[in-house]
């Protein structure tokens, strides 16, 4: 029944889980290729533990971790999933890599996975479905209640540019340097229900909003919202969706740890959210973070103050010291901060490596994905 569909199933506070969409490549030009089904079959046969599944096109697979409360355990599971995936790809003469978008693939060459849901998506969205061959990291954070989830969702909106900049790794798109740190998010923006969650602050209000949207036939389920942060009532989490899949699982785990630590602080301190004006500068800040990464200027919607994203991240990491000790995320945060101080991000690393040869860049991305030899920030 509609009423009980949107119950918020509470989950362990500050538990976390990560989903990573990764690129499936051939090994000659390192273009995307049709390999997801073969890769998944190989993984099934090799009995790789963990959750690896299809995404919308045959050139992507999604890794999903279980539920974790500790960063080191999350990183270990991501490492094991990655190793299983890499081993399967090797046998099939395929490669896999991170990054928010493939630097030079042509979207019209992608093939939609043969299942009813994806065929429906393809039918409805036309070329957008194929253009949606972009690769994101989603992080879930467990919340004790629906009201807490909505508080956390709105409180985190101010930090969304941090996560965009920390994960940014799609400077190239369709063969061109976009001059953005991440080109991926603006692909997502093309969908009609993208953007941020409307200003509703209690679970009852949210449910009423959802029912209204469903009653007039705008949405059928929560899956139809492509928001930057959205509640996931059946998991009892909020899901941050703005991150590109980083170039390494280490960076992915560190970003999840940052979110977990920040969530602890926000749930502990209960800031006043200040009304819908909270989102006044949201779209501009989000754009700036996509375009300029760490160098973006953030505008405070309430007092008009400005600061660089890099400085704001470093200040936030300092502020979180106590929470980081409590959660055991100190090392992960220190590593993120080191990357920020060095001005190094996935996008920066990619621009350094590209040197006019995008095939060689993707080959280097695939090599980076295999191991842990990346510099801090990448």
**Interface residues with other proteins (CB under 8 A)?**
26-29, 33-35, 38, 41-42, 45, 90-93, 108-109, 111, 114, 356-357, 359-360, 363
Least Cβ distance, residue 39 to other proteins (angstroms): 9
What φ, ψ does residue 18 adopt, rounded to 5°? Answer: -125, 140
Nearer to other proteins, 27 or 69 (CB): 27
The token pair at 206 is 């949210």
Q: How many CB atoms lie within 10 A of CB 195?
A: 17
What is the spatial distance between Cα 242 and Cα 228, in angstroms, rounded to a whole number? 5
Nearer to other proteins, 116 or 217 (CB): 116
Least Cβ distance, residue 254 to other proteins (angstroms): 29
Helix (H, G, I), strand (E, B) or coil at 360: helix
Nearer to other proteins, 93 or 202 (CB): 93
What is the spatial distance between Cα 88 and Cα 326, in angstroms, rounded to a whole number? 38
Least Cβ distance, residue 104 to other proteins (angstroms): 11
Q: End-to-end alpha-carbon separation of the chain, Å? A: 46
What is the spatial distance between Cα 273 and Cα 116, in angstroms, rounded to a whole number? 41
Least Cβ distance, residue 34 to other proteins (angstroms): 4
281 DSSP assignment: T
Least Cβ distance, residue 65 to other proteins (angstroms): 25
Nearer to other proteins, 106 or 223 (CB): 106
Least Cβ distance, residue 136 to other proteins (angstroms): 24
Nearer to other proteins, 70 or 353 (CB): 353
Task: Count the alpha carbons within 13 Å of 146 in the hemisphere toward its beta carbon.
Answer: 15
Nearer to other proteins, 31 or 245 (CB): 31
Nearest to 152 by CA among 270, 70, 277: 270
The token pair at 270 is 């209960």
């Amino acid at each position: 029944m509609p009423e009980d569909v949107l119950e918020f199933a509470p989950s362990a506070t500050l538990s976390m889980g990560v989903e990573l969409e990764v690129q499936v490549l051939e090994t000659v030009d390192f273009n995307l290729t049709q390999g997801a089904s073969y890769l998944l079959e190989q993984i099934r046969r090799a009995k790789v533990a963990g959750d690896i599944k299809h995404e919308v096109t045959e050139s992507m697979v999604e890794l999903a971790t279980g539920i974790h409360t500790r960063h080191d355990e999350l990183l270990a599971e991501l490492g094991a999933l990655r190793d299983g995936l890499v081993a399967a790809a090797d046998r099939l003469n395929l490669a896999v890599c991170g990054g928010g978008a493939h630097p030079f693939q042509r979207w019209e060459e992608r093939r939609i996975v043969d299942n009813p849901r994806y065929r429906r998506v393809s039918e409805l969205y036309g070329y957008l479905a194929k253009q949606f061959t972009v690769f994101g990291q989603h992080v879930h954070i467990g919340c004790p209640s629906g009201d807490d989830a909505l508080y956390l969702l709105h409180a985190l909106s101010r930090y969304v540019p941090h996560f965009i900049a920390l994960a940014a790794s799609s400077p190239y798109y369709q063969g061109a340097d976009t001059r953005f740190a991440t080109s991926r998010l603006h692909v997502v923006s093309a969908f009609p229900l993208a953007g941020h969650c409307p200003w509703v602050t209690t679970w009852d209000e949210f449910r009423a909003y959802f029912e209204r949207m469903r009653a007039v036939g705008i949405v059928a389920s929560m899956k139809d919202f492509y928001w930057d942060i959205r509640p996931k009532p059946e998991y009892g989490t909020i899901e941050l969706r703005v991150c590109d899949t980083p170039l390494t699982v280490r960076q992915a785990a560190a970003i999840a740890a940052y979110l977990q630590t920040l969530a602890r602080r926000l749930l502990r301190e209960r800031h006043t959210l200040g009304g819908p004006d909270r989102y006044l500068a949201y779209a501009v800040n989000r754009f700036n973070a996509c375009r300029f990464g760490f160098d973006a200027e953030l505008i405070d919607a309430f007092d008009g103050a400005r600061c660089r994203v890099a400085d704001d991240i470093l200040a936030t990491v300092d502020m979180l010291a106590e929470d980081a000790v409590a959660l055991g995320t100190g090392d992960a945060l220190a590593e993120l901060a080191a990357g920020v101080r060095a001005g190094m991000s996935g996008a920066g690393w990619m621009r350094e490596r590209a040197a006019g040869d995008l095939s060689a860049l993707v080959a280097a991305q695939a090599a980076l994905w295999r191991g842990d030899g990346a510099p801090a920030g990448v």
